[in-house]
Amino acid sequence: MASYNAKIEELQKIYDSNTNNLVFLYGRRGLSKHELMKGFLSDKPSIVYLARDCSNEVQREFFADTIEKSCDINAVSRNYADLFNHLRTTEAKKLVLYIDHADYIMKKDPEFFEHILKLKNKDYYKGPVMIIFMTESICFAEHELVEDFSKGYKKFEEIIKFTELNFLEVVRMYSGLSEQQAVEAYGIFGGVTEYLDYWNKDLTLKDNICRLILDKNAPFHNAAREYLEIELRELGVYQTILYALASGREKLNDLFEYTGYSRPKISVYMKNLAKFDAVKKVVSFETGGYENAKKGVYRVNDTFLNFYYKMVFPNLSFLEVMGSEDFYDYFIEPYIPEFLDRTFVKICMESLELLSSVKRLPIMISKIGTWIGKKSNIDIIAQDEDRNTITAKCSYSREVFDYAMYEELLAANKEAKVNADYIYLFSVKGFDAKLKHLSIADKSVVLVDMNEM
């Protein structure tokens, strides 16, 4: 939560300034933004308004009612100018006007934002005021706000994005979890704090997935669909694409052949999904083996969406009949180790970046990524500014990291035309004797056990 607290400290600095302020906050659903804002507002005079998806007339009615009750006034009329002229506080502190789900009101009523700018400029309320907009829509914050409010966009002193926790932050924040449990929780929910808060360290992975996702009354039984509904309309189309991607159809032509949607439409749908990081185009690290690399590969980027559309969505009919525990045993448990391989690669990449930042690597990483070849992949490639190179292979699902897997990495290096100065091998379940002997004889080959990370 350290990164979140840093954002609150940033807000406090803005609040403490001697000027009026206009700030925009955003981040995907589930990042504890609202709880943190409650803490920020707790010692300040504030007006909190939750915008709703409704008509302008009803929105103004709700807004006026909030102002009147919060300021204990009876407004002459319910237009914004009159309401803002009647703002008041009994404390000798800067007033905070906090508008949650601001996109609902900004998209439908441009006049509202014009009055907000006048409020900031002291055309109405003469006391100090800090105005904070919040939204869970990444598309609105990163695209529509810039495109549709180009002049107003520049009026925000700060635009602050809340992001998911990385693995190290998860380990620190949820210190009761074992290393194995942390990987499992992170592999299912990513760094979404409000999801992780429900994870019970005293239960098995099966029990947690059943009670949090699979049971009919589970808190996240419909979370994937609810998350998509914030950003998208044609859910049938997008769920089809997400399932196709999660099941391994990673090229646009694969999606075209599987879904039957036209190529131009698929391109538009993919751009819409990419706008809020649901999917991403995976570009291979630049190497001399460009002709051997796969081009145009797409993957589900959101951790929970990837789990849901790979494991749950295609089998919902059976969940209805079998119940959550039997469903887990048949459709999830056999595939979990391999599924978590991808999470483990991400964790290992974060680990290398951290080691580099504290100067515990033989190189200072300036660029890091992955390489996807036509025949083989390199989990991680990292280089410094002088192009000294680390390549790495990560194993979560295999019983032991053996010498043959090391040779697979060497073959992938050759296909990518990469001359690795150092090779890092990451494993959950240890290494065979031959690799251990190799790492002693050759210091450029480094073995990393997950428990030591």
Same structural domain for residues 132 and 48?
Answer: yes
Same structural domain for residues 65 and 119?
Answer: yes
d(CA 48, CA 320): 41
Domain total of the chain: 3
CA 450 → CA 130, 353, 357, 389, 453, distances in Å?
46, 15, 19, 22, 5
Q: Picking from 144-148, 176-180, 186-190, 227-231, which range would have the lowest pLDDT averaged per residue? A: 144-148
pLDDT of 8 strictly over 90: no
Q: Domain of 251: which CATH number?
A: 1.10.10.10
d(CA 370, CA 379): 5
Same structural domain for residues 108 and 245?
Answer: no
pLDDT of 1 strictly over 60: no
Phi, psi of 109 (to 5 degrees): -135, 80
Same structural domain for residues 8 and 72?
Answer: yes
Average pLDDT for 37-48: 94
Q: 426 lies in which domain range?
A: 340-452
d(CA 416, CA 424): 17
Residue 33 located in a structural domain: yes
pLDDT of 3 strictly over 70: no
Residue 309 located in a structural domain: yes
Structure tokens at 72: 């204990």
Structure tokens at 62: 């709700």
Question: Residue 28: CB partners within 8 Å, gap ≥ 6?
Answer: 136, 138, 162, 164, 192, 227, 276, 277
3-state secondary structure of 442: coil
Does residue 39 contact residue 45 with C-beta atoms inside 8 Å?
no
d(CA 357, CA 351): 10
pLDDT tens per residue, range 409-418:
999 999 999 9
Q: Picking from 80-89, 302-311, 418-427, 434-443, which range would have the lowest pLDDT averaged per residue? A: 80-89
CA 116 → CA 72, 97, 126, distances in Å?
21, 10, 13
d(CA 200, CA 185): 10
The pLDDT of residue 178 is 92
Same structural domain for residues 22 and 145?
Answer: yes
Same structural domain for residues 64 and 138?
Answer: yes
Residue 190 located in a structural domain: no
Average pLDDT for 244-256: 96
The pLDDT of residue 399 is 86
The pLDDT of residue 114 is 93
Of all residues in the chain, what percent carry a pLDDT higher than 90? 88
pLDDT tens per residue, range 78-96:
889 999 998 988 888 999 9
User: For residue 424, how far is the Cα from the chain centroid?
Assistant: 27
d(CA 348, CA 321): 39
pLDDT tens per residue, range 107-141:
999 899 999 999 999 999 999 999 999 999 999 99
The pLDDT of residue 229 is 96
Residue 146 located in a structural domain: yes
pLDDT tens per residue, range 364-398:
999 999 999 999 999 999 999 999 999 999 999 99
Residue 184 located in a structural domain: no
Neighbours of 439 (CB within 10 A): 17
The pLDDT of residue 91 is 85
The pLDDT of residue 208 is 98
Of all residues in the chain, what percent carry a pLDDT higher than 70? 98
Average model confidence (pLDDT) for the chain? Answer: 94
For residue 342, which of 392, 379, 302, 373 has the smallest C-alpha distance? Answer: 379
pLDDT tens per residue, range 178-216:
989 999 999 999 999 999 999 999 999 999 999 999 999
Same structural domain for residues 217 and 305?
Answer: yes
pLDDT tens per residue, range 149-172:
776 778 899 999 999 999 999 999
The pLDDT of residue 67 is 94
Structure tokens at 258: 């599987």
Same structural domain for residues 235 and 99?
Answer: no
d(CA 68, CA 77): 11
Q: Domain of 128: which CATH number?
A: 3.40.50.300
d(CA 306, CA 311): 8
For residue 26, which of 37, 17, 16 has the smallest C-alpha distance? Answer: 37
Same structural domain for residues 93 and 153?
Answer: yes
The pLDDT of residue 420 is 97
Residue 329 located in a structural domain: no
Same structural domain for residues 32 and 138?
Answer: yes
DSSP-assigned beta bridge partners for residue 22: 131
pLDDT tens per residue, range 12-23:
999 999 999 999
* Alpha-helical runs (H) found in 76-109: 80-85, 102-108
Neighbours of 376 (CB within 10 A): 16
The pLDDT of residue 349 is 97
Phi, psi of 88 (to 5 degrees): -160, 160
Same structural domain for residues 315 and 348?
Answer: no
Same structural domain for residues 84 and 152?
Answer: yes
**CA torsion, ordered 72, 77, 79, 80, to nearest 10 deg:** -30
